[in-house]
Structure 1
Amino acid sequence: MKIGFDAKRFFNNSSGLGNYSRDLVRILATYFPENQSILFNNNLSEKGKKILEFPNVSFVETTKGNFSRQLKMGKDAQNSGCDIFHGLSGELPLKWNEKPIKKVVTIHDLIFMRFPKYYSFLDRKIHFWKFKKACENADLIIAISLQTKRDIIQYLKIPEDKIRIVYQGCHSVFKENQDAQFLNLIKEKYNLPERFILNVGTIEERKNLLNIVKAIDKTEIPLVVIGRKTKYFKKVQKFINKNSLQTQVQFLENVSMEELAAIYKLAEIFVYPSFFEGFGIPIIEAHFSNTVVITSNLSCLPEAGGEDSMYVNPNDYLDIKSKIEFLWNNEAERKRRAENSLNFVQKFNDEIIGKNLMSVYQELIF
């Protein structure tokens, strides 16, 4: 089987859709070497170049021209003999020739529909048109969670029998056992507290960092935050300054994947009270790191969290506070929940994800 991929995010995005794209192709190349994966894009960047070390993965530069991704990439995949074309980020090319090819698209979330206030009017219209068009033109749709599947049915009016759920995993570095020497090195490099709670993700309103900061106010619990800052950061910073929490809250940026994995392992608790997610990869990363999780009782987060995460109402910072303090002061409970969650998260291992993905492809070809 020859599978073509829209590799724009694969080569251009450092996190999020980029990680999803790189992990998916890596998993296929590893567990299904009999198939060929072809990456289509208008440039070959260092971000994903390593994947070409696999003998069954190749790169094809998209035919030049305006809107080449929309107008040329699909035909390039057909002319390369691809059996399937997979749009990894909610889009499919608009133009095709007469050569047979099956089309698959992954939809990650429809947050722009659920929370329109986070998007401009024009962005909402563009996202809706692209996603709906892709879903209508696809032979099968991959949703990364049950929540996303429900949203595709509700907002895009797509028949349920056209949608398959294939969960995401996470980068392999989070599954590695980093030694104590490396962990201590990272702890010293970033001057991390002896004990701390952790939050990872873009610092934006939807991720709800402000309520974590409110929850640790009037406690002595240190918080480490890793993520790109947006204008919402000023709102969080204002509360920190007003309540003299500057030494209690530490912000880190430009942390490598290996360093991030170490910081997850060093944390006592991972706190992620997001208002909405398509899936919640940081929760999976924390589980593989054997770190207990506190997260929201909304959207898909219980799908990623499992039975042994602790759930909160993200709108209630006092609820978040009580759950943090309970786990902070109860080592046995932290350990119990973390160990059970490590067992639970094995369902998101690469091999299982690869088999589920391949079953979607085989459904179309055989």
Structure 2
Amino acid sequence: MNIGFDAKRAYHNDTGLGFFSRVLVELLASYHPEHRYFLFNPKPGSMFRPQASHIQEVQPSAPLHKILRGAWRSKWICKDLKRLQIDLYHGLSQEIPSGIHTTGIPSVVTIHDLFAELYPSDFSFISTKIYRSKMRYACKYANRIMAISEETKRHITNTYHINPSKIDVAYQSCDPIFSNIVSEEKKERIRAKYNLPREFFLHVGTIIERKNLLNICKALQLVQQEIPLPLVVVGKGGAYKKKVKQYLADNRLQDKVIFLTDALAAAGKKPFVETEDFPALYQMATAMIYPSFYEGFGLPIIEAMSGGVPVITSSTSCMPEIGGDAAFYVHPEKPEEMAEGFRKFYGDALYRQQAIAKGFINVQRFAPEVYVQSVINIYQAALNNK
């Protein structure tokens, strides 16, 4: 079978959608080498270099398509899908090409979240309109919808009035490197590379209001006399980050939070953590805290648990669905509950070890082979429903 993918994010995105795209394509190619995988990429990119011979990158070739690459990806790509005899097309990031339903080629669209519907203030007015329009179109015309959590499925059903029987939930898997337990020697190299403290709490995610860093900082203030550990923050930010930094300055907590992206840039280094270094970064942490107000999935939860790192996360949205019985749950608006999580994982060694053990069990639900099979099942349902 020839399977086509919208690969823009795979080649150009260094956050969640990019990781999702790269991991899925490589897992499918590994577990099902009998298929051919065509990655439709509107322009050259360096973030993805798959080595398998049955993975092929496709870029626009016609002169006009090279000039109007966005239009090629959004509509004109349908001609290339037919030319390459694509049997199934998967829109990996919430959209499918306009008119694909008229080609006879069945399609699947992955809907990760409905941020543009639920948090429009996080986007510009134009971006919100575009995202909403593309998601509505994809949900209407795709043969199957792949939701990454039951939470996301509920939002699709309620917001776009889609029959839930058209939506399949496929819990994603994280990159297998997160399951590799890092040696102490390598941890020391990574510690020196990023100038990290001996012990710390960790927060991974874009610094926006929905990710809730300000309340994490308020929790740190509550335990500053009890727990000496700083918080390492990995992620970019804008106006909200300034608000957080002002809070830290007002409360003399600047030395309690390390904005790693800023620190790397100030040192003249690449302002991001390299993918292969993330497992060590997680595994050096006493705990990872992720009290978002809303997520479509919450990938850092399983990235942390896969490497034996306990997790503090929200009792709302999809987080309990993903964290199972292994996480310490807090209300995202209650710093005092986050502070209690800090105390438990810092001061109670037995509790921490029990949480780690539960985490290893919990992540088996997201094992690569389980994930790949669920996606293949969705593809078969789409082929049967064309």
Structures share fold, TM-score greater than 0.5? yes
Q: Which residue does the alignment assign to 1:54?
A: 52
Q: Which residue does the alignment assign to 2:264?
A: none
Q: Is 1:191 matched up with 2:199?
A: no
**Correspondent of 2:372 among 354, 358, 364:** 354
CA contact (8 A) 2:203 2:231 kept: yes
CA contact (8 A) 1:178 1:262 kept: yes
The whole-number CA distance in structure 1 between the counterparts of 2:280 and 2:251 is 30
**Correspondent of 1:231 among 224, 230, 239:** 239
- Secondary structure at the residue paired with 1:104? strand
Q: Which residue does the alignment assign to 1:152?
A: 156
CA contact (8 A) 1:83 1:100 kept: no
Residue type at the aligned position of 2:72: S
CA contact (8 A) 1:173 1:257 kept: no
The whole-number CA distance in structure 1 between the counterparts of 2:325 and 2:101 is 48
Q: CA deviation at 1:287?
A: 0.5
CA contact (8 A) 2:78 2:103 kept: no
The whole-number CA distance in structure 2 between the counterparts of 1:96 and 1:109 is 22
- Secondary structure at the residue paired with 2:308? coil
The whole-number CA distance in structure 1 between the counterparts of 2:103 and 2:240 is 48
Deviations 1:159-207 (A, max 9, x none): 1111001111112221112211110111233332222111111111110
For the structure 1 residues 54 and 235, does the alpha-carbon distance in structure 2 shift closer, same or farther, using more than 3 Å as the test? same
- Secondary structure at the residue paired with 2:254? coil
| Residue pairs, 1:187-226, within 5 angstroms | 187-217=191-221, 218-219=224-225, 220-226=228-234
CA contact (8 A) 1:109 1:277 kept: yes
Q: Which moved more, 1:58-67 or 1:132-141?
A: 58-67
CA contact (8 A) 1:70 1:95 kept: no
Q: Which residue does the alignment assign to 2:79?
A: 75
Q: CA deviation at 1:98?
A: 6.0
Q: Which residue does the alignment assign to 2:266?
A: none
Q: Which residue does the alignment assign to 1:292?
A: 310
| Residue pairs, 1:1-366, within 5 angstroms | 1-48=1-48, 50-51=49-50, 53-62=51-60, 63=62, 64-65=64-65, 66=68, 67-96=71-100, 99-217=103-221, 218-219=224-225, 220-253=228-261, 254-365=272-383
CA contact (8 A) 1:75 1:96 kept: no
The whole-number CA distance in structure 1 between the counterparts of 2:35 and 2:332 is 44
The whole-number CA distance in structure 1 between the counterparts of 2:195 and 2:72 is 47
For the structure 1 residues 227 and 98, does the alpha-carbon distance in structure 2 shift closer, same or farther, using more than 3 Å as the test? closer
For the structure 1 residues 180 and 274, does the alpha-carbon distance in structure 2 shift closer, same or farther, using more than 3 Å as the test? same
- Secondary structure at the residue paired with 1:278? coil
CA contact (8 A) 2:144 2:381 kept: no
For the structure 1 residues 196 and 104, does the alpha-carbon distance in structure 2 shift closer, same or farther, using more than 3 Å as the test? same
Identical positions, percent: 39
Aligned residues: 364
Runs of 5+ consecutive residues of structure 1 not aligned to the other structure: none
Q: CA deviation at 1:93?
A: 0.7
CA contact (8 A) 2:344 2:352 kept: no
Runs of 5+ consecutive residues of structure 2 not aligned to the other structure: 262-271
Q: CA deviation at 1:115?
A: 2.3
Q: CA deviation at 1:122?
A: 2.9
